[in-house]
Chain A
Amino acid sequence: GAVVSQHPSRVICKSGTSVKIECRSLDFQATTMFWYRQFPKQSLMLMATSNEGSKATYEQGVEKDKFLINHASLTLSTLTVTSAHPEDSSFYICSARPQGFYNSPLHFGNGTRLTVT
């Protein structure tokens, strides 16, 4: 149980275009989902906390107008990288836990490798 699915797993886009990444909880509902970014040979860095039905909370230094987050339902959160540039190339990973199970582990998707050319 507790499967988190991300789509796409890989995407290549041209500089200046926008890319949408989907994160779905397949067998549970999640009021909150988390978006992380990971550059090569580095650890995961939390970008934002996605809240169903309300605005996302962004970590310091993350541009909210560039990384648009929408959490329209209890099973889907999306991250849109707007006007992507090569420096946005990274590994984006989402995570979630079942609603109401506050201390249960976070479950992670398998990530999306974004390459901006």
Chain B
Amino acid sequence: DAKTTQPPSMDCAEGRAANLPCNHSTISGNEYVYWYRQIHSQGPQYIIHGLKNNETNEMASLIITEDRKSSTLILPHATLRDTAVYYCIVRVALGAGGTSYGKLTFGQGTILTVHP
């Protein structure tokens, strides 16, 4: 699976949009981009994932560049509860009968601190 690079930390003011970048320059055509976050002393929480197109759900938006070498997770209106470590993970798409079990490999992530 392709490696990802994220800034170690970022700050954001409450109520503003938080834009978290992720570089995955070696991504291949059949690899998904997943975003998770981990609030202190809890298990990781799934946020969003995508393959080629931009995606949006109730939590966030995922913007993937046309060449797919980078992406940005957008939290449109950050709150204090969004303070967490955010992980960008790239993983190959699986097909039925494949030998891969679809594990996720976590990097160091970005510590996002939302301040009042």
A residues neighboring B (CB under 8 Å): 4, 6, 32, 34, 36, 43-46, 49, 51, 57, 91, 93, 95, 97, 100, 102-103, 105-111, 113
Contact = CB atoms under 8 A, between A and B. Distances in A.
Contacts of A57: 101
13 contacts: A34-B103, A43-B108, A44-B44, A51-B101, A57-B101, A95-B43, A102-B94, A102-B102, A106-B46, A108-B45, A110-B43, A111-B43, A113-B41
A108 B102 contact: no
A108 B46 CA distance: 8
Contacts, number: 61
Contact of A44 (B32, B45, B93, B106): B106
B96 A102 contact: yes
Nearest to A113: B41
B34 A105 contact: yes
A106 to B, nearest CB: 6
Given A44-B44, A46-B104, 7 more contacts: A32-B101, A34-B104, A43-B108, A95-B44, A102-B98, A111-B43, A113-B41
B68 interface: no
Contact of B44 (A45, A93, A102): A93
